[in-house]
Amino acid sequence: MNALIAAILGLIQGLCEFLPVSSSGHLLLAEKLFGIEDGGYFFTVLLHLGTLAAVLLVYRKRIIEMILHPVKQFKYWLWMIVATVVTVAMALAFDDVIDEAGSGKVLGFCFLLTALLLLLTDIMRRRTRAGMTVPTMKWYHAVLIGFMQGVAILPGVSRSGATITGATACRLTREDSAEFSFLLSIPAILGGAVLEIPKAIAEGTANVPAVSCVVGIVVAAVSGYFAVRFMIHLITKRSLIGFSIYTAALGVFVLLDQFVLHLINW
C-alpha cells in the first residue's frame, strides 16, 4: 500500500463514515479493487481514529458541555449509553455473521438496504411532524436507534443513514437527529476500532508503511471534518434521496459484478 492508495482509502473513510453511503462498504469495495489483502484490518483501525478526531473536533463544545455538566446532560448520556449497549450486544451476538459479511458476499444487498432506509427517511419526513428532542426521548427510542446502528455494522449499510432513519422514526427533530447520530458515532467508532484490534494483530501490518499510515489518518480526519459539516446542513435542510439513488445504483452494480460481469475478484 503506497501513500496514494492510503490517501484514497483515507478519503473514502472520512467522507463515507458520515455521508449516508457506508464507509465500511466503500472501503471493502476499494480494497477489492486495489487487491489489498494484508494489513487491511490494521489500516482500517487507523482510519477510524482519523474520523474519530473529526467528529470530536466538530462537536467539541457539546462534548465539553456534557463532561462539565453531566447532571444537566443526563438524558444525553443515558440514551447514548442505552443505544451503544444495544449496538454492542448485536455486534457480539452476530459476530460470525459480521465476519462472513466482511468477505463482500452480501455487499450489494447491504447497499440496497441503505438505499431503502434513506428512501424511508425521506418518506417519513414528508408524512410525519417531528417535534421530539433527545431530552424528551424514551428508552425504547434509544433502543431502536441503537438497533439501527447495530444493523449498520454490516459492510454496505450506512451507520449515519441507519441511525438517522431510526431517529426520524422516533420523530426527533432534524437538528437532534443529526446531533445524536454523530455523537453516537463516537462510542461506535471507538468500539469498532477495539473490536478490530484482535483481527489487526492476527493479520499483522504487512504492506502498510508508516508514511501511508500517517497519510491515511490525516486525510480521513480532514475529509471527515468537512463531511460532518456538510451532513449537518444536509440533514437539517435538505433531502437524502440523492444518496438513496447513489447507493441503489452501487448495490445493483456490485450484484451485477458478482453474478454476471466478474470484473472484481470477490
Per the CB < 8 A criterion, the answer to whether 191 and 88 are in contact is: yes
Q: What whole-number distance in Å separates Cα of residue 121 and Cα of residue 130?
A: 12
**Grid coordinates given for 2:** 503506497
Q: What whole-number distance in Å separates Cα of residue 75 and Cα of residue 95?
A: 30
- Residue 1's pLDDT band, with cuts at 50, 70 and 90, is low
pLDDT of residue 249: 98
* Global pTM exceeds 0.85: yes
E strand or H helix at 254, and its extent?
Answer: helix 241-256
Which residues lie closer than 8 Å to 147 by C-beta, 6 or more apart?
86, 87, 90, 166
For cell 491515511, the residue is 216
Per residue in 128-172, pLDDT (tens digit) is 777 889 999 999 999 999 999 999 999 999 999 999 999 999 999
Mean pLDDT of 87-113: 90
> What amino acid is encoded at 224 in this protein?
G
For cell 476500532, the residue is 193
What Rg do the C-alpha atoms of the chain give, in angstroms?
18
Per residue in 21-69, pLDDT (tens digit) is 998 899 889 888 887 765 567 787 888 889 999 999 999 999 999 999 9
pLDDT of residue 39: 54
